Amino acid sequence: MNYKKLIEMALQYRKRAYCPYSNFKVGAAALFENEAAFGGCNIENASFGATNCSERTAIFKGISEGFISLRAIAIVGSLEEYTYPCGICRQVINEFATKDTIVIIARSVDDYIVMKFDEIFPGSFSKEDLIGNSKSSV
């Protein structure tokens, strides 16, 4: 897996961000099985609840093309601070992550942090927690 290629893709999508209200651009690149990669940017809306984050945009593009196993995701927001995914994005990542999914938080192609997903979302709620699955107890 080439982290720098994913970061470069995230940086390109960051430029496409539609953020007239916050002026906070974020780009993401999601890597799925078979090395299929999809980019996304944040897309704001005057009705703030309709806003979509870059991570979800990238993931949903991959899912809509038939990929479901998220291997890695690179995220670039501020070029001065590391920008981590919000709680909603962490929940969406969790839905498609494997035990080995990597999260790359970058400020540039040469300045980034690499973590396993469960390091940034411990104790997550997943499909295994729903009633009827083996992990549930009611």
Q: Which residues are marked as active site?
A: 55
Is the Cβ–Cβ distance between 28 and 15 less than 8 Å? no
- The residue whose two tokens read 């962490």 is 90
Residues with Cβ within 8 Å of 4's Cβ and at least 6 positions away in sequence, in order, are 109
Reduced to 3 states (helix: H, G, I; strand: E, B; else coil), residue 119 is helix
